[in-house]
Amino acid sequence: MKIIYIILASLFLSGISSEKLCAANDIRSRIIGKWEVGLPYLPGPPNQSFILDVREKDNRIIFDVLNGGLDVGDIDVQEMRFTYKNGKLSANLYVGELAILLIWEEKGVMRGSIETSLIGVLPLILTKL
């Protein structure tokens, strides 16, 4: 009887871990591509945005930031790495100061935010190009 409980428990635990793995792979597959990222609440001119080019390299999710209409000077972010934690992709960027970029999926829609010490947390609008 104990063997049946052990088998059921191991199946249950492997199901949970594979569900988390599928969730991670799901956001990984959905985020690949080019995204226009809008910053609607960034101080300064309205409609500021940048292009986020996300791809997979050596089984890691990496990205480049291309300066679209962002009015903060030149941005040169290339081959930065996302890490996956708690259902979100995150990256630390230095754009004049340390910023934390977070992207997650909520009800089938990609959401994001960027957090800085000077401005706080700003929501991002992600639109697939």
Q: pLDDT by residue (tens digit) across 102-122?
A: 999 988 889 999 898 888 898
Fold of the domain built from segment(s) 2-128: Lipocalin (2.40.128)
Specify which of 18-27, 47-56, 66-75 reaches the highest per-range mean pLDDT: 47-56
Query: Per-domain residue ranges for the chain?
Result: 2-128
Give 51-66 pLDDT, tens digit per residue. 889 999 888 888 888 8
Question: How far, in Å, CA of 51 to CA of 25, rounded?
Answer: 23
Measuring CA to CA, which residue among 74, 81, 78, 38 is closest to residue 56? Answer: 81
Residue 82, CB-side half-sphere exposure with 13 Å CA sphere: 30
Residue 90 pLDDT: 92
pTM of the model: 0.69
- 48-57/120-128 β-pairing: unpaired
Greater confidence (128 vs 96) lies with 128
